[in-house]
Amino acid sequence: MRITVALGGNALLKAGQEGTVGEQLVNLRLACRQLVELAREHDLVITHGNGPQVGKILLQNEMAADQTPAMPLDVCGAMSQGQIGYLLQQELHRAMVAAGSPHEVVTLITRVLVDPDDPSFQNPTKPIGSFYSAEVAAHYMKEKNETWIEDSGRGWRKVVPSPQPQRLLEEKVIKQLVQSSCLVIASGGGGIPVVEEPGGGYQGIEAVIDKDLAAALLADAVESQLLLILTDVPGAYLHYGTPNQQLLAEVTIEEIASYAAAGHFAAGSMGPKVEAAIRFVSRGKGRCAIITALDSATRALQGKAGTRVVAVL
């Protein structure tokens, strides 16, 4: 079976960690153990989040701006794809060799097309980078026409749009690599958002694409049978965080869509995972999506853990 695996932030960096390369490698080692198990029997395409990493790259760029020019968000996104991809390649390769099943592992810098008329461009909501004073925020809002918000009493942060992903520009080459038995890491951090230019090229833009929604597109593009979303909770719950919370085991897209409409899955965390599962499963026959914890990946494939989203029960 061909599986697209979406690794959540905690596979890379856990809450409270500083973010050293050593910490990230240790975290990735645990994730790679799961991936190697899956790769024994399945073709894998891997994608991942980049929130903490791209935040740190932005900070490094901002702090050093008087010494060397700061890079825009799209370039920082590409840097994070390269950085995380490299670390994953190192650990996956090591784990594969240890398990006696070496594969080629390759990371692809991936651009994702978005619509310049996407409504999110009129309503930027995704905070990025560090916190600043009201004066700094006012300066950037006036001089650079940026949108900044006061973020929960912690200071001012720049916000960028989070447009819908439309197409992975590198989808053909990703598919070719998968077909030649490479383990491909692609569309990291939701991909680098680009818009079409009049002459036929593409222009990078300041936006952040949700990594789970991009994962659904990636899974579609490589014709996966399964979209496996690995995060830090056992699955999607009803009444999450209350004494009545209830883990969903197997649900149809219609059922989970009605739970989503009733507000069970928070926007920006479980919401987009559920939406990604619905989009992926409803776009092709016989497909399934699983949302589960990183360390339950193999058990979830056996039907013993996680939330499984299917077209029909």
- Counting contacts by CB under 6 A, is residue 232 touching ligand ADP? yes
Q: Are 71 and 29 in contact (CB under 8 A)?
A: no
Residue 265 in the binding site for ligand ADP (CB under 6 A) = yes
Check binding of 269 to ligand ADP (CB under 6 A).
Answer: yes
| 266 belongs to the binding site for ligand ADP (CB under 6 A) | yes
Structure-token pair, residue 58: 């932005």
Binding status of residue 279 toward ligand ADP by CB under 6 A: no
285 in catalytic set? no
Establish how many alpha carbons lie within 13 A of residue 134's alpha carbon, considering only the half-sphere containing its beta carbon. Answer: 2
Is residue 8 a contact residue for ligand ADP (CB under 6 A)? yes
Tokens of 124: 């930027």
Residue tagged active-site, from 8, 61, 85, 126: 126
The least CB distance from residue 135 to ligand ADP, in Å, is: 32
Known catalytic residue: 211? yes
- Which residues fall within 8 angstroms of residue 104, CB to CB, at 6 or more apart? 181, 182, 183
- Is position 9 annotated as part of the catalytic site? yes
- Choosing from 10, 27, 50, 61, the catalytic residue is 10
> Of 2-10, 64-72, 130-138, 151-159, which part binds ligand ADP (CB under 6 A)?
2-10
Put residue 101 in one of left, alpha, beta given phi > 0 → left and psi -120 to 50 → alpha.
Answer: beta
65 token code pair? 């701006």
User: What is the SS3 assignment for 161?
Assistant: coil
One of 50, 56, 85, 211 is an active-site residue; which one? Answer: 211
Least CB distance to ligand ADP at residue 263 (A): 9
Please identify the residue of the shown chain whose CB is closest to the bound ligand ADP.
8
Nearest-approach distance from CB 6 to ligand ADP, in angstroms: 8
Q: How far is the CB of 7 from ligand ADP (least distance, A)?
A: 8
Judged by CB under 6 A, does residue 306 bind ligand ADP?
no
| Helical ranges in 127-210 per DSSP H | 134-143, 171-179
49: contact with ligand ADP by CB under 6 A = yes
For residue 251, give the H/E element and its range: strand 250-252
Query: Which of 264, 279, 287, 308 is in the footprint of ligand ADP by CB under 6 A?
Result: 264
Q: Helix-strand-coil percent breakdown of the chain, rounded to 5?
A: 40, 25, 35
Closest to ligand ADP by CB, 262 or 312 = 262
Question: How many whole angstroms separate alpha carbon 187 and alpha carbon 101?
Answer: 25
**Contact stretch for ligand ADP (CB under 6 A) within 4-12, 62-70, 150-158, 175-183:** 4-12
Determine if 309 is a binding residue for ligand ADP (CB under 6 A).
no
Q: Any residues with CB less than 8 A from the CB of 47 and at least 6 apart, and which?
A: 4, 5, 6, 7, 185, 186, 187, 188, 211, 214, 215, 218
Task: Tell me if 80 sits within 8 A of 188, measured CB to CB.
Answer: yes
Using CB under 6 A as the binding rule, whether residue 237 contacts ligand ADP is answered as: yes
- Which helix (H) or strand (E) element contains residue 43? strand 43-48
Of 215, 236, 278, 288, which lies in the binding site for ligand ADP, with binding defined by CB under 6 A?
236
Q: How far apart are CA 282 and CA 254, in angstroms?
A: 10
Please report how close the Cβ of residue 200 comes to ligand ADP at its closest, in angstroms: 34
Q: Which of 233, 251, 288, 309 binds ligand ADP (CB under 6 A)?
A: 233
Annotated catalytic residue 10: yes
| Chain positions contacting ligand ADP, by CB under 6 A | 8-10, 49, 231-233, 236-237, 240, 264-266, 269-270
Catalytically active residues, by annotation:
9-10, 126, 211, 273
